[in-house]
Chain A
Amino acid sequence: MMNLQVQVRHTAAEEALLSAYSERAASLPGDERTAEKREQAVEILKKGLPNRRVEAWHYTDLRRLLSTVPAFEAATHLEQREPLLPGSVVLPVLNGIAKPMQELSDVSVATVTNELTDGSLAARLALAGTDDAIGAINAAFVTDGFALDIPADAALGHPIELQNVQAGGQVHTRFAVRAGERAKATIVERQLGDGAALVSSVSHLDVGDGAEVVYLIIQEQPDDARHLGQIYVKIGKDAKLTLFVMNTGGKLVRQELRIIAEGEGSEFRLRGVNLLAGDTHCDVTMILDHAAPHTVSTETIRNVVTGKAEGAFQGQIRVARDAQKTDAKMACNTLLLSDEGGFSSKPELEIFADDVACGHGATVTEIEPAHLFYLMARGIDEKTARGLLVKAFVAEVIEELEDEQVVEVLEGKLDAWFAAHG
């Protein structure tokens, strides 16, 4: 007999997700193991999307904010885009379908569809918890994506761009990158398109011992798209990872970063730039585990908020009992350009080791009128002067990426955003 007490009154969006699953389940790629994970994910969805009373979703009431879910749309013709960084090899996923690409000599590439079909991806479809709504939506519907394997000691001569382009409807994709021991690579994960899509995209990044990886997540969805992203990261012994996350679009955005510094002596840098305009809601949530001794991390988030935009950064750092000599520094700074926007920052340190150095800080400031006056007194018009000050606020984090080409391209994105919204 059905237990009426656990019945939830579903929102329109929840209904849409559940009925889409019933319709599509049979045609989704996957063997039995994959199908079982999908079913488990749907069971979580049936309990309803998390609202603000669920701690991890306090700043992003998904149940309220994900007010509608578009229907799946038949694939329209889509072209892949120019890469962010000139000279990159592009691996395009168009409308949720990984497109065959040229062979890569130094990297082996598999499609997620194949991994779903042969069941090898099933373990990774497991959810992070009962509040893992992004994982659940993705596991239920994921169709395709790319998995890269960069061999040990490889030093890629060009960046690789994982390009996820949507044209509306729903897109559920996955990416996986494994960098072998001592490998060196720059990977761009590009999230864009021109439809009012619902996108879920889950990535796994394994940085092998001694490897050095720069991974850039560039989310530039149109203003009416909803983007739910998640990345799981493991960093090996003496490995170095710079994770750069830039959000410049989307109506509703959540980027979850789940990082484990599991190798002794590993270094992790998170640099985040959130450019929020209109009525965007953007949430970056990081959970970082320092699981081994002598691990170093720095997290710097810079936000520029205008219009009625709202943003949040939740930064949780957990230092395990034996992760002695951990050094972690987290900062979240916001430049508010309008009175109607806002940004919340919630740092959380859970430290179980006794010999560690951990710190965090958060600020919210406005453009300093004296600075604006000084620039204008030299003949620089107000908009340009404001642009210079906004750039000054953000550029510092971008410049830390050191690579001149990357810096130039990202500053270009910043200029373009400011020209459109500043």
Chain B
Amino acid sequence: MLEIKNLHARIAEDGTEILRGVNLAVKPGEVAAIMGPNGSGKSTLSYVLAGRDDYEVTEGDILFKGQSILEMDPAERAATGIFLAFQYPMEIPGVATMEFLKVAMNAQRRARGEEELKIPELLKRVRTAAQELDMDMNMLKRPLNVGFSGGEKKRAEILQMKLLEPSLCVLDETDSGLDIDALKIVAEGVNALRSPDRTIVVITHYQRLLDYIVPDSVHVLYKGQVVKSGEKELAQELEKNGYAGLIGEAA
């Protein structure tokens, strides 16, 4: 489903290399966790997957469903089924959340050759998804993410993910900022999306999330490379011992 091959990427503005040969393959139906110390390049990797142009890919390739996505812009990538739940969702003043959801859902449906949703059907879907995430519909009357609390923003990201039904979900520290109950609700939301033809990549620092969303594989990113891969026990080991031993090994 997702194959990242020797991916090198740098900051477009100043040329600083952040990703230095990332290799990672995730199969359909697989849930992969990516861990790693602060500043190791996890968010950068997620942005590069989504096509943010602050970063330039200098080497390597990203294959999604067997096709390179490097030439696609973010909208095209989203239309092929890539979704990134942001670590820091942006506040966009003046853009009504409901209007945004309508435009986004229908843009993707159009791109896939599906019929656009009419307002009542759209509202129904949004209401159902919001209910499942225990979100107040009134929030959706506000401009996109504006004034949402940290946890509300994260929930709103998962709401979008549910509505857009992507085939690759990348969750960048969705657990940070969520209270204990919200963490459960969000994890349930993600688990409900688990399916044989969907790939989920969870970026996190904490075992706690992985207790709820149990990963099939765990990968450690360090200084822009995947330095270790393993099964779910790897996360538990890291929780206990930290990265020190591992980093020593890698060096």
Report if A and B associate in a common complex.
yes
Interface residues of A (CB under 8 A from B): 369-371, 373-382, 384-385, 388-389, 391-393, 395-396
Q: Is the CB of B94 within 8 A of A385?
A: no
Q: Is the CB of A384 within 8 A of B107?
A: yes
Q: Which of A371, A379, A391, A392 contacts B104 (CB 8 A)?
A: A379
Known contacts A378-B160, A385-B75; A392/B92 CB under 8 A? yes
For the complex, give the distance between the alpha carbons of A384 and B77 in Å.
Answer: 16
A381: chain B residues at CB < 8 Å are 75, 107
B48 interfacial by beta-carbon distance below 8 Å: no
Chain A: minimal CB distance from B163 (Å): 10
Known contacts A377-B50, A379-B164, A385-B75; A396/B104 CB under 8 A? no
Q: Is the CB of A391 within 8 A of B75?
A: no
A393: chain B residues at CB < 8 Å are 94
B93: chain A residues at CB < 8 Å are 392
Interface string of B71-89 (1 = CB under 8 A from A): 0011101110001101001
Q: Is the CB of B92 within 8 A of A375?
A: yes
B123 interfacial by beta-carbon distance below 8 Å: no
- Which B residues, 110 to 147, have Cβ-Cβ distances below 8 Å to chain A? 111, 143
Q: Is the CB of B94 within 8 A of A375?
A: no
Q: Is the CB of B95 within 8 A of A388?
A: yes
CB nearest neighbor in A for B95: A392
11 other A-B residue contacts (CB within 8 Å) besides A377-B51, A377-B74, A380-B75: A375-B104, A376-B75, A377-B78, A377-B84, A378-B83, A379-B75, A379-B104, A388-B95, A389-B95, A391-B95, A392-B95
Q: Is the CB of A378 within 8 A of B164?
A: yes
B244 interfacial by beta-carbon distance below 8 Å: no
Known contacts A373-B52, A377-B51, A384-B103; A392/B74 CB under 8 A? no
Q: Is the CB of B86 within 8 A of A391?
A: no
For the complex, give the distance between the alpha carbons of A377 and B99 in Å.
Answer: 16
Q: Which of B89, B94, B107, B164 contacts A396 (CB 8 A)?
A: B94
A377: chain B residues at CB < 8 Å are 50-52, 74-75, 77-78, 83-84
- Which B residues, 53 to 85, have Cβ-Cβ distances below 8 Å to chain A? 53-54, 73-75, 77-79, 83-84
For the complex, give the distance between the alpha carbons of A389 and B94 in Å.
Answer: 8
Q: Is the CB of A371 within 8 A of B92?
A: yes
Q: Is the CB of B104 within 8 A of A380?
A: yes
Interface residues of B (CB under 8 A from A): 50-54, 73-75, 77-79, 83-84, 86, 89-90, 92-95, 99-100, 103-104, 107-108, 111, 143, 160, 164
Chain B: minimal CB distance from A303 (Å): 15
For the complex, give the distance between the alpha carbons of A47 and B67 in Å.
Answer: 71
CB nearest neighbor in A for B80: A379
A369: chain B residues at CB < 8 Å are 53-54
B53: chain A residues at CB < 8 Å are 369, 373
Give the 10 A-B CB pairs with smallest separation, nearest first: A392-B94, A379-B78, A376-B74, A379-B108, A378-B104, A376-B75, A392-B95, A374-B90, A377-B74, A381-B75
Q: Is the CB of B73 within 8 A of A379?
A: no
B77: chain A residues at CB < 8 Å are 377
CB nearest neighbor in B for A383: B75
For the complex, give the distance between the alpha carbons of A375 and B92 in Å.
Answer: 9
| 7 A-B pairs with C-beta separation under 8 A | A376-B51, A377-B77, A378-B83, A378-B100, A378-B108, A391-B95, A392-B95
For the complex, give the distance between the alpha carbons of A392 and B164 in Å.
Answer: 23
Chain A: minimal CB distance from B144 (Å): 8
A395: chain B residues at CB < 8 Å are 94
CB nearest neighbor in A for B166: A379
A375: chain B residues at CB < 8 Å are 92, 95, 100, 104
For the complex, give the distance between the alpha carbons of A374 and B144 in Å.
Answer: 11
Residue from B75, B90, B104, B107 with most neighbouring chain A CB atoms (10 Å): B75
Q: Is the CB of B73 within 8 A of A376?
A: yes
Residue from B52, B74, B77 with most neighbouring chain A CB atoms (10 Å): B74
Chain B: minimal CB distance from A307 (Å): 23
Chain B: minimal CB distance from A367 (Å): 11
B94: chain A residues at CB < 8 Å are 389, 391-393, 395-396
Chain A: minimal CB distance from B233 (Å): 33
Q: Is the CB of B164 within 8 A of A382?
A: no
B50: chain A residues at CB < 8 Å are 373, 377
Chain B: minimal CB distance from A384 (Å): 7
B99: chain A residues at CB < 8 Å are 388
B73: chain A residues at CB < 8 Å are 376, 382
Chain A: minimal CB distance from B172 (Å): 12
CB nearest neighbor in A for B145: A374
Known contacts A379-B79, A379-B107, A379-B108; A373/B74 CB under 8 A? yes
For the complex, give the distance between the alpha carbons of A144 and B242 in Å.
Answer: 84
For the complex, give the distance between the alpha carbons of A376 and B84 in Å.
Answer: 11
For the complex, give the distance between the alpha carbons of A371 and B144 in Å.
Answer: 10
For the complex, give the distance between the alpha carbons of A374 and B100 in Å.
Answer: 11
For the complex, give the distance between the alpha carbons of A375 and B103 in Å.
Answer: 10
For the complex, give the distance between the alpha carbons of A377 and B103 in Å.
Answer: 12
CB nearest neighbor in A for B85: A377
Chain B: minimal CB distance from A407 (Å): 13
Q: Is the CB of B78 within 8 A of A388?
A: no
For the complex, give the distance between the alpha carbons of A377 and B83 in Å.
Answer: 7
Chain A: minimal CB distance from B65 (Å): 16
Known contacts A371-B92, A377-B74, A382-B75; A388/B100 CB under 8 A? yes
